[in-house]
Amino acid sequence: MSDITQVIILGASGDLTARKLAPALFAAFQDGLFPHEVQLVGVARRPWDDAGFREQLIANSPKAKDHQPDKWQAFLANTHYVRTNLETPADFAALAKSLDMLCGGRPADRVFYLAIKPELFLPSVQNLHGAGLLAQEDGRSSRVVVEKPFGTDLTSARYLNGELLKILKENQLYRIDHYLGKETVQNLLVFRFRNAFFEPLWNQKYVELVQITVAETVGMEGGRGGYYDGSGAIRDILQNHLLQLVALVAMEAPSSLAPKAIRDEKVKVLHALRSFADLPDPQANLVRAQYEGYTQEPGVSPTSETETYIATRAYIDNWRWGGVPFLLRTGKHLPSRFTSIRIQFRMPPHTLFGSYQECHLRPNAITLRIQPDDGIDLSFEVKEPGQGLVIKPAKMTFDYAEQFKKRTPDAYERLLQDVITGDQSLFIRSDEVEECWRWADSLREAMAGAPVHQYPKNTWGPQAADGLFGECEGRWLKG
């Protein structure tokens, strides 16, 4: 067992390092959560030295002024920079030497975090391998963290998996999806499988519809237009973050909390997601749209058809979920930022109060508020006090902040700690990523030729998306 881990960020001059990764490492360091010494090493092409890199971290860390000054100084003192061109193999030999020197010749566990353009994933890993940096000798480990997007479709993801797995073992490869590091997302398994109330109802017999939304108020800020235009809402959010929520909400109980047991169950449910090609009318199950003005954004093609909004009606063809629609939606420039999962229950079997012939807003739902205002709401109906029988909606609410009154760690904090300790439960396995692409590709194929609706910024997207709900199935949540 090594007594030091080097976290080496490739692409350290990018904004992920200063905004997310360095603050996450610092927070864990400040709270004393690391099992041993952790050294941060930034790697990029910019002509910086240690001092220059530290200055960047100080200037761009969102909360640098709130850090405990002595701890922040100690953290920065163990932060280094090695200038490297990721496409030059000789630079990696020099990097290997620098890394050895930085840990004073001690055998170090190494985490290589690829915060770089996807085109550089493979050459960088090949170069790390060429310089002997991925060898796992003398009980020390070497792990590689890959940011999304992992491929752009099933074929490219398979190719990337195939090539990376020629060099790395699956247990060295950490495909990150930061949604899995969110506390509320981790809570999904606890909520479902620790509480006897809900699980018996969590199936097609009682659940009528599941609605999942990732709504964002942001657009193409930070010069993201170029990247986003080649990606779109399906590849940017639906294929990864949103499908991970689907997997956790719909999977069977794993036999244990071992990473393999959890990932096996997730992959089964992703595999059961019905391809759009198997729907009788695929285009009736999707609505794509663009916010007005998108094609004038810097970096975006003026004739772009890239979707900034996508809504779909999906199905999971298995025993638990047969016939239950999963309505999935994500979009940019919507009126509020929220991610939530709403499990909508069927009406009771017999009508005592009012007529069920008419459409009736379904009274029973569990809403899992993933962010912000993390919490859980149970909705039901009660009798209003007074003469006569007037039925009114009511709600029971659980609120994380109110209940626990403590800081919620950022997703990256948890995920980086897991990489350092070697726990892969919250990372995506190769077969999972491929199943997500299989379904996302079928959606993209079905979408070809479908209208590209327009929506004004700061509205809930095109009205056509309401048509994804059946007549009495309800409507999209608005925050």
Which residue number places its CB atom closest to ligand BG6? 236
Output 218 or 382, the one with its CB closest to ligand BG6. Answer: 218
Q: Is the dihedral of CA 412, 417, 420, 422 positive or negative?
A: negative
Contact 307, 452 (CB under 8 A): yes
Residue type, 256: S
Query: What is the smallest separation between the CB atom of 216 and ligand BG6, expressed in angstroms?
Result: 5
Query: What is the smallest separation between the CB atom of 479 and ligand BG6, expressed in angstroms?
Result: 14
Distances (CA, A) of 81 to 50, 312, 379, 412, 479: 5, 45, 52, 21, 43
Q: How far is CA 84 from the centre of its chain?
A: 29
Please tell me which residue in 80, 129, 178, 241 is annotated as part of the active site.
Answer: 241
Contact 63, 48 (CB under 8 A): no
Query: What is the smallest separation between the CB atom of 436 and ligand BG6, expressed in angstroms?
Result: 14
Output 237 or 343, the one with its CB closest to ligand BG6. Answer: 237
Output 334 or 366, the one with its CB closest to ligand BG6. Answer: 334
The residue assigned the tokens 């900034």 is 308
Which residues are near ligand BG6 by CB under 6 A?
Answer: 216, 218, 236-237
Question: Concatenated DSSP letters for 182-251?
Answer: SHHHHHHHHHHHH-TTTGGG-STTTEEEEEEEEE-S--SGGGTHHHHHTTHHIIIIIIIIIHHHHHHHHP
Catalytic site residue 36?
Answer: no
89-112 residues labelled b (16+ CB within 10 A) or e (exposed): eebbeebbebbeebbeeeebbbbb
Radius of gyration (C-alpha) of the chain in whole angstroms: 24
Query: What is the smallest separation between the CB atom of 45 and ligand BG6, expressed in angstroms?
Result: 23
Output 131 or 242, the one with its CB closest to ligand BG6. Answer: 242
- Cα angle, residue 338 at apex, residues 469 and 283 outer, rounded to 5°: 30
> Which positions are annotated as active-site residues?
241
